[in-house]
Amino acid sequence: MNAYDKAISFLKIRAHHSGELERKLLMRKFSREEIKETINRLIEEKLLDNSQFAQMFLDNLIKYKNFGFYMLKAKLMQRGVAGSEAESLLKETLSFEQELETAQRFAERNQGVDKLKLAQKLSSRGFRSEVIRRVSDADTSE
């Protein structure tokens, strides 16, 4: 099986970012040159679209997961999206208010947890410190 056929088999399972696809093909011992040609061919054939993948993946994370800005960025980067690309996409897609809403929903599900523990949980889920501070302050003012 050549790199193109293997890449197609990965894409049949789910959409990929070119960086993620490159990593998977490298693990299967295909040459960098063959991988580069394969990725270029997939892009030309419109079977691989990095910006569409990143947007779709981010939309799903925002909709189904309780992650903050930094965790969302990390998840995008794990899929091969460059850090700067992930950050600009997040700035376009995720407003501060949306992140705050997500954190508040998470806090509601964790009622009864003390303020410090809640802040730690929010931090581990990648919420920005300003969001954590606002949720913690709102939690104590009730």
Tell me, yes or no, whether 79 lies in a domain.
no
Residue finishing a domain among 48, 66, 84: 48
Does residue 38 contact residue 4 with C-beta atoms inside 8 Å?
yes
136 band by pLDDT with thresholds 50, 70 and 90: confident
Tell me, yes or no, whether 1 lies in a domain.
yes
Give the torsion sign (CA, 80, 85, 87, 90): negative
Residue finishing a domain among 29, 48, 67: 48
For residue 6, the domain's CATH number is: 1.10.10.10
Number of domains in the chain: 2
No. of helices (H) and no. of strands (E), the chain: 9, 0
Tell me, yes or no, whether 30 lies in a domain.
yes
Tell me, yes or no, whether 72 lies in a domain.
no
- CA-based nearest residue to 42, from 10, 76, 72: 10
pTM score of the predicted model: 0.86
Structural domain containing residue 6: 1-48
Tell me, yes or no, whether 54 lies in a domain.
no
140 band by pLDDT with thresholds 50, 70 and 90: low
Measured in whole angstroms, how far is the alpha carbon of residue 139 from the centre of its chain? 28
Tell me, yes or no, whether 68 lies in a domain.
no
pLDDT at residue 14, rounded to an integer: 94
Q: Which two tokens stand for residue 42?
A: 């997939």
Tell me, yes or no, whether 121 lies in a domain.
yes
What is the distance between the alpha carbons of residues 110 and 38, in angstroms, rounded to a whole number?
A: 47
Q: Which residues contact 7 (CB under 8 A, 6 or more apart)?
A: 21, 25, 38, 39, 42
pLDDT tens by residue, 33-54: 999 999 999 999 999 999 999 9
Tell me, yes or no, whether 36 lies in a domain.
yes
